[in-house]
């Protein structure tokens, strides 16, 4: 799996788009990553920078950014509990979609999970996010039997 990919030409575009490079996400990327998420449908945008930095400290090395000329154009967060892995917040800038960037970010994140001896990885997808469901199905992910139950915690 390459960390640098020359992404596919857009239909009708007269030239190749610049190379996109995948790098581990670090604290210095967080502001740009949040800007990407805020512009991205299908992603929960309530995260604040301190919480994302906390995530990166708790899950070192498992999250990646896609950079085009040094600018963040894609992201994925990854972590595990020692047994099962999780990916969150996969996002690609709209103008670079359908060029393989999303798939490459997922492969890179899964390579890291394998390196941590993780054999199964789960993701959460909003039921209404049909585009994401088609993407995940296309790259081999299957819906499981688990229902997510949530509860907000108030002061105890």
Total number of residues binding ligand COA (CB under 6 A)? 22
Closest CA to 126 of 90, 98, 95: 90
Distance of CA 138 to the CA centre of its chain: 16
In the complex, the smallest distance separating the C-beta of residue 129 from ligand COA, rounded to whole angstroms, is 5
Pick one of 34, 103, 107, 121: the residue that binds ligand COA (CB under 6 A): 103
**From the CB of 80, what's the least distance to ligand COA, in Å?**
17
Could you tell me which of 38, 96, 26 has the C-alpha nearest to residue 65? Answer: 26
Binding mask 79-98 for ligand COA (x = CB under 6 A): -----------xxx----xx
CB neighbours of 18 closer than 8 A, spacing ≥ 6? 68, 69
39 lies in the binding site for ligand COA (CB under 6 A): no
Closest to ligand COA by CB, 99 or 108: 99
Measured distance CA(38)–CA(92) in Å, rounded: 12
- 65 versus 91: smaller Cβ distance to ligand COA: 91
60-99 burial, b for 16+ CB within 10 Å, e for fewer? Answer: eebbbbbbbeeebbbbbbbbbeeeebbbbbbbbbeebbeb
Nearer Cβ to ligand COA (6/98): 98
Q: Which residues bind ligand COA (CB under 6 A)?
A: 40-43, 90-92, 97-103, 123, 125, 129, 131-132, 134-135, 138
């Amino acid at each position: 799996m390459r960390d640098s990919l020359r992404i596919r030409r857009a239909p009708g575009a007269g030239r190749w788009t610049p190379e996109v490079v995948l790098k581990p996400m670090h604290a210095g990327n967080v502001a740009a990553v949040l800007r990407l998420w805020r512009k991205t449908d299908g992603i929960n945008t309530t995260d604040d920078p301190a919480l994302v930095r906390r995530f990166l400290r708790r899950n070192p090395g498992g999250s990646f950014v896609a950079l085009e000329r040094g600018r963040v154009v894609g992201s994925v967060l990854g972590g595990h509990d020692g047994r099962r892995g999780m990916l969150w917040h996969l996002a690609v800038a709209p103008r670079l979609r359908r060029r393989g960037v999303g798939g490459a970010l997922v492969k890179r994140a899964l390579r890291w999970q394998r390196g941590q001896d993780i054999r199964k990885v789960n993701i959460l997808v909003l039921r209404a996010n049909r585009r994401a469901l088609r993407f995940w199905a296309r790259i081999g992910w299957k819906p499981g039997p688990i229902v997510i139950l949530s509860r907000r915690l108030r002061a105890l």
